[in-house]
A and B are shown apart, each in its own frame.
Chain A
Amino acid sequence: MSKQVLDGLKAKFGDRVDIFERSERRAYVTVSNDDWIPVTRHMYEEAKGRLATATGSDRSTGVELLYHFAFDRDGTVVNIRTTLPKPFPKIESLTTYYPAADFIEREIFDFLGVEFTGHHDPRKILSSHDRPADFHAMRRDE
């Protein structure tokens, strides 16, 4: 069902995207940090996906970002994944072209300390104001 979207990704990015089709309705695409903005921008502007939300998690390989793009017309979810090196994970923000990423990127910054460059409002969002600036609740190395 998500074939059209995945074919579009393959045609545009070739070997730079690593696609895993989990099932008819779910696919996971791994990209490098450098391809993060081109691929996510393609998902929003050309493939017309909707950023449902994003998951940040601290894994042994680094801080992993998984952005969930829902395609309501097909009933599928295509997830774009990239891993950022610790201890100072940093990546360009999607908010420069997609306002829907605003709150969720602030949340990932708050809990995992990922710096989103170009974010217009890089403040903490959920943890209390008196938390130390370098404390990130979901980091496992602290």
Chain B
Amino acid sequence: MSTLIPIGPFHPVLEEPEYISLYVDGETVEDADIDLGRIHRGIELLAQEKTYDQDTFLVERICGICSASHSWAACLAMEDIVDVVIPDRARYLRTIVHELERLHSHMLWVGLAGHILGYWTVFMWGWKYREPVLDCLEAITGNRNNYAWYCPGGVRRDVADEIWPGVLKAMDEFAVQTDMLLHAILDDPVILGRLKGVGILTTEDAIAYGTLGPTARGSGVPIDVRRDEPYGAYSEVDWDVMVQDGCDCLAVAAVRLLEMLESVKIIKQCIEKLPAGPIATEVREIPRGEGIGHIEAPRGETFHFIRSNGTNMPERHKMRAPTFNNIPSFRPRVKGESISDAVLIFAVIDPCYSCTERLAVLGPDGRPYMKGKDLIALSHAKTEELRKNS
């Protein structure tokens, strides 16, 4: 007879409310049910009452982490109706911000995965290395999240050339840190023990459940909208789609880690090739018609469909975030696994969290109390102390 174990709606490792019912026999999960809708906000209905320009701001609010993806996909859907040509500079600027977003989203996930595994060092590293990416986004767009960057026809603001050397330097450092993190995670026997062979999603299931992004690519399904239907500047830079055929949690983690290095490559090439010129083509009106925009967000394909009736507001604006397609794959993944791995298996699809918080402890003189190297020295001193006493 199976027993019901509830996870959520509010649970220490789920930053957003979602209710998962696990049906278990002993410690083995037999089946699971997921109950969504606790943070449903009715944005699709609201979008029908906003103008197209306002819509690009509204859709950013769907998620704090992949806000650029939603507004870019909405702009692509509008541009699909108008058939407008986007200036080259705008295409590159759009791509740079989108890839920076992928970096900070993946790094956020790496940190959360460490948190769920109880591996706090990975959590601290991940979130520490994510910070300079957010600083780059702030320097380019003026904000750490919700950038208000994309508009139908291009981008809203231009960027001064002085910004780029700082971004390039941050990317060089980020690549070194990611490489270190990649080896630290993939060579660690404890992490391998927790991830390898856990939460199997076969290639057939990944296709049948319509999974997207790293979830699909970790199961050997080579899909990536950036390559399959190139938009922005992706067809003009050199990069690879990362696919792993391990089908387990480790494969998904590896896809995300390797993808970050590809994103760094894309960003650096885009900055080096950034053309001069206008940043937007004016879109005066959106005629009657239907348009589709889909792009590769950090978690997978984000899909927007817009039907225009010739007025300044969409008649229908359908938006679908990748997590909506990825969540059903939790059931085949979790069946037969242990309860202790259930939350990890759920987190491997990177369910969309939107929390942005930062903290700095200042000393009496208003300067940071401790810097990174002070904390490392303190950590070493404490380890030495423990060694002596043991």
Contacts and interface: CB of A to CB of B under 8 A. Distances in A.
A53 interface: yes
B45 A73 contact: no
A22 B45 contact: no
Main secondary structure of the interface of B (DSSP, over half): mixed
Contacts of A23: 80, 83
Interface string B278-297: 00000000000110101000
Contacts of B292: 26, 68, 77, 79
A40 to B, nearest CB: 13
B41 to A, nearest CB: 10
A53 B229 contact: no
Interface residues of A, number: 33
Contacts of A72: 223, 225, 228-229
Contacts of A104: 320, 324
Nearest to B229: A75
A104 B320 CA distance: 9
A50 B210 contact: yes
Contacts, number: 79
Contacts of A73: 228
A7 B225 CA distance: 24
Nearest to A123: B35
B109 to A, nearest CB: 22
A53 B316 contact: no
Nearest to B317: A55
A130 B72 CA distance: 35
Contacts of B303: 52-53, 68
A128 B37 contact: yes
A66 interface: yes
Interface of B: 36-37, 40, 42, 44-45, 80, 83, 207-210, 223, 225, 228-230, 289-290, 292, 294, 301, 303, 305, 307, 315-316, 318, 320, 324-325, 327-328
Given A68-B292, A102-B328, A128-B37, 20 more contacts: A26-B292, A50-B207, A52-B294, A53-B303, A53-B324, A57-B315, A57-B318, A66-B305, A68-B303, A75-B228, A77-B292, A99-B209, A100-B210, A103-B327, A103-B328, A104-B324, A125-B37, A126-B36, A127-B40, A138-B44
Closest 5 CB pairs of A and B: A100-B210, A75-B229, A55-B318, A53-B320, A126-B37
